[in-house]
Structure 1
Amino acid sequence: VNKSPGRNVLFSGAGVGGHCITKDPWLLAHGAPGLEPKVIAAARARNDGMPRHVLTLVRDALEDAGKSLEGAKLAVLGYAYLEESDDTRNSPSATFIQAAKDAGAECVVHDPWVHEYKGDLWKALEGADAAVLLVAHSAYRDLDLAALSKTLRTPVLVDARHMVSRGKAKAAGLVFRGLGRAAESK
């Protein structure tokens, strides 16, 4: 575990996806009759809830910027379940997008690896009320944050993959939230 380059399964993120990790814990639990797999169930519940937690961060950041989630346009950066991949099986981004739509937001998706969502990154960001970084694709690693702040209608960035420093985001004029990072006091 935790030996694959670029992966740290103990680092918080927007959730887990793919074919194996979403089902294998349940297979393990089912294979242990008579035992109550509380840790497995709790871990799956936590992972399954992460996309909705990210949406809470988006809602809070938008409110700080004077915008409601309802009616907001969100630029979702990344759709594959894994960085540098086109594999979308059980993608946490799909769960996030559905939850955002259920809350009355519009989502525009960009993913440099997924055919349906390729295209111009800056066009996807143009006029959005928030950029939501869900997948750690290298294409998003060196975003020009000053240009991002000017391109967004509402300068909000939510980083669910630890790719942007709070200090750099704030210096660029962005309202920032980062998953797994303490909230700033107001």
Structure 2
Amino acid sequence: MRVTVIGCGYLGATHAAGMAELGYEVLGLEVDPAKVDQLSAGRVPFYEPDLEELLSRHVTSGNLRFTTSFEEAGAFGDVHFLCVGTPQQAHGLGADLSQVEGAVVAIAPYLRGDALVVGKSTVPVGTAERLLAMLDEHKAEGATPRLAWNPEFLREGFAVKDTLAPDRLVFGVTEPSAEATLREVYAKVLADDTPCVVTDLPTAELVKVSANAFLATKISFINAIAEMCEATGADVWDLAEAIGHDARIGRKFLNAGIGFGGGCLPKDIRAFQHRAGELGVDHLTSLMREVDAINLHRRERVGQIAAEMLGELSGARVAVLGAAFKPDSDDVRDSPALAVAGTLHLAGADVSVYDPKANANAAKRFPTLTYEDSVLDACRDADLVLHLTEWPEFRSLTPGDLDGVVRRKQILDGRNLLDADAWRDGGWTFRSMGRR
């Protein structure tokens, strides 16, 4: 069995390297020639721990190649994983499916026999049924292509682990042969007793967006509670610890802070909201709208606290530690940290940003900000330090590291992970999100 991966961005490049690691000959299909050249040289065009080493090893061995040709991919593969992007529409909340539909139309004429196309992209429910009809319409004479849906559950920073040792597999299929093929593809993973849910196409499509919607709801819930804590003098960390001991609730994703971002949760809950509206599921539409609103308000709240601490934003020097939406990533899509930095800059503050991996990507999105090469450079003469992405480098900072560097000893911990007592004992004014 030979595998192709259509679309070699974050999801596709990771999946291609993972399939090669599982022992398959893999051909990655990418329409951007520059990206193909980079991947063919064993380099990954983004930061993800351990991925470049894995990809480079299999490019060198010959098990992993890349191409721009749909014809070559169709002739090569028995199983074709669809990993293209589904970004938010430019003028609406719904998902832009042009890449998914374009890829299916382009590969269909070159599919051989009963080749299996496997969707991994996150799509609105009902998309797979439409793609199945498109495959049938554009297939070559005599071909009988099949379609299945196998949603991805990658966490940035842990993508290699999540590919090779996932916490579950989901197979959305229309007939037994597709399930049998997927079980063969994932035989090594299933041999490790990985749970596997076999279901229909619409359920498989809904699994990923439902998971993201639940996680987003949990984050927005604790952030709303954090504002209640601020209003009453309670401590959201202690509260989360207490309710997290309830097995029905759990402690994960109950860390209050500046909210979620990235290329998945925000656009997925908006697309979910949009699709629910199309289907007339009004309560879900309202719920997702409020989850999104609470999340976006957290960024405003950071700006409010910063203004309180500074007294006057105009002319103040602010150091922002973090630009990526989360640690172990260079992804700045919908990053809360970068949004806060941009807002403070527009309000008149002189903002310096440092991120261990994301400075270059951040500069493309917000070129008017100042980017520094170290924590100390970013914090030099600062009136306020903002901890907005929880990189280990930032979490290990001590007050002594910045004494004599900043102008005013003030810090706002937007991730609620620094030792408040240590900073206050060091003579700093310390604020956090929903803590005493």
TM-score by length of 1: 0.85
Other-structure match for 1:179: 433
**Counterpart for residue 51 of structure 2:** none
Q: Are 1:49 and 2:297 counterparts?
A: yes
Q: What is the aligned partner in structure 2 of residue 110 from structure 1?
A: 354
The answer to whether residue 309 in structure 2 is matched with residue 61 in structure 1 is yes
Q: In structure 2, how many angstroms separate the alpha carbons of the residues matched to 1:58 and 1:12?
A: 17
Q: What are the residue-to-residue correspondences of 1:27-106 with 2, within 5 Å?
A: 27-32=271-276, 33-34=279-280, 35-36=282-283, 37-63=285-311, 68-106=312-350
For structure 1, the 5+ residue unaligned runs are none
Percent sequence identity over matched residues?
30
The answer for unaligned runs of 5 or more in structure 2 is 1-154, 159-250, 361-370
RMSD: 2.2
Q: Over residues 16-63 of structure 1, what are the superposed CA-to-partner deviations in whole Å (9 max), with x where a residue is unaligned?
A: 211110111122222223214222111100111212211111122223
Larger radius of gyration: 2
In structure 2, how many angstroms separate the alpha carbons of the residues matched to 1:57 and 1:137? 22
Counterparts of 1:95 and 1:8 in 2: how far apart (Å)?
A: 25
Question: Is the CA contact 2:318–2:349 (under 8 Å) kept in the aligned structure 1?
Answer: yes
Give the aligned residue type for 1:93: A
Where does residue 155 of structure 1 map in the other structure? Answer: 409
1:8–1:55 Cα change, 3 Å: farther
Q: Deviations over 1:137-186 (max 9, x none)?
A: 0111111212324311011100001121221111111111101213xxxx
CA deviation vs aligned residue, 1:39-90 (integer Å, no higher than 9, x gap): 2111100111212211111122223xxxx22211100000001112111111
Give the superposition deviation at 1:8: 4.1
Q: Distance in 2 between matches of 1:94 and 1:55?
A: 12
Task: Choose 75-84 or 51-60, whichever is displaced more.
Answer: 51-60
Over 3 Å counting, the alpha-carbon distance change for 1:179 and 1:149 in structure 2 is farther
Instruction: Check if 1:122 corresponds to 2:366.
Output: no
Higher relative contact order (CA 8 A, sep 6+): 1
- What count of residue pairs does the alignment treat as equivalent? 176
Greater than 6 Å deviation, 4+ residue runs = 4-7
Structure with the largest fraction of helix: 2
- My pick for the range that moved more, 106-115 or 128-137, is 106-115
Q: Report the CA distance between 1:115 and its aligned residue.
A: 4.2
| Letter of the 1:112 counterpart | P
Paired amino acid for 1:49: H
Q: Note if contact 1:84-1:138 (Cα within 8 Å) is conserved in structure 2.
A: no
